[in-house]
Structure 1
């Protein structure tokens, strides 16, 4: 195998700018911090939410791939990230709302170092930003965790999927793995500041592929529709 040296994508950024940059790389300290965080989250999910996961056999053996799910709670991203193992766990980035998780240096530091989140700004994420995320996903062989509804459900019902997921995967070879998380709304709805104990069930479905879908507006809409149907099909 030929070794190829490549400088880190975030080399030129200041420490503060790196926190909320799509070019941020984890580094050794980040890997250690996130490893400790994942172990703590797994223990918490096992003790307080008796997490039950089915369909692990559908997860690709190695990145890149995208995990999508319904979105009703802050527990969603924590659960999807915590159930990953090995290389997939170390290369997983959650795409999180910038106006919620990256509003200050302290919040950005927590989102970056613990959750390993990358910001998606609801009102100002550009085509260039999406193209950059797509490039990182494919070239760096990452796992993206995202929720195509765009926001948490306020009543526990799953909303319509937005077409942004299509801009990341349409016309490419990266598989999309649909998931459905049951119980998260009851445990930690948007109206509560802290979670309460309760049962969580995560169902993982067969991966979807969109290599034959055009990377254009029509293709993005098709990707959104197919992803939504797959996630809805996993409901109990």
Structure 2
């Protein structure tokens, strides 16, 4: 119980402090560097309070310019903090607008420059994605999408949404598959308590989308899913995450 109490207190105060820092950086024109510092400070403090150890494999698959889209499976809220803290890139998330209903999480994400889209309004979602693509190029960002659309309830890889791949095809940015394992054991959906432990992120070779047509969306989706499934299976054979 003490660990969980420390985690929640840290989550509240870190979100307030780092969110305010990000908002101030945006107001003063601090740019990407200060946003990154706010993001990483937020993520690392929350992970430390929860007792989570992060191991990242396959960093050589990240694009050196930083302009790329990472498609990851989604087991837990911790997936967000793990990717921010573990990847040496300017990471921003494209997430469902329903996260605005979680006060502490939505404040931190909005202040730090993450993107919340309304999937129920197709025109609004497309416009938001276009703006995110422009930002990715201008600010050399790594954008993260969760193709399942929500967290897995049972830890199994869920059905992918075709719309998650629209940005990659529209921008031609490299699409990097990512398999995250361990978040569900640390903080299962619906849980009230956190359990310290390791979370592993495995990155696969980038899938090239430059020159792709809208009709190729299904192919990109199948290739990404197959890559994530293979990496999750490999981690399972290896006995899970280690850190």
Q: Quickly name the TM-score band, shorter chain normalised.
A: 0.7 to 0.9
8 Å Cα contact 1:96/1:118 also seen in 2: yes
1:120 alignment partner in structure 2: 117
1:53 alignment partner in structure 2: 56
1:15-164 aligned at under 5 Å gives the runs 26=26, 27-28=29-30, 32=34, 34-39=36-41, 41-42=43-44, 45=47, 48-85=51-88, 88-89=89-90, 92-100=91-99, 102-103=100-101, 108-114=106-112, 116-126=113-123, 127-164=126-163
1:234 aligns with 2:231: yes
Q: Which segment drifts farther, 187-196 or 159-168?
A: 187-196
Change (3 A) 1:151 1:107: closer
RMSD: 2.8
8 Å Cα contact 2:179/2:228 also seen in 1: yes
Q: 3-state DSSP class of the match of 1:50?
A: strand
2:3 alignment partner in structure 1: none
Alpha-carbon deviation of 1:137? 2.5
Q: Where in structure 1 are there 5+ consecutive unaligned residues?
A: 1-18, 20-24
Change (3 A) 1:213 1:159: same
Q: Which segment drifts farther, 72-81 or 130-139?
A: 130-139
Change (3 A) 1:105 1:67: same
Cα deviation code 1:129-187 (max 9, x no counterpart): 33333333334432101111101001111112111232111264311111111111111
Change (3 A) 1:148 1:198: same
8 Å Cα contact 1:58/1:205 also seen in 2: yes
TM-score of the superposed pair, with normalisation by structure 2:
0.73
Q: Aligned partners of 1:111, 1:183: CA distance in 2, in Å?
A: 22
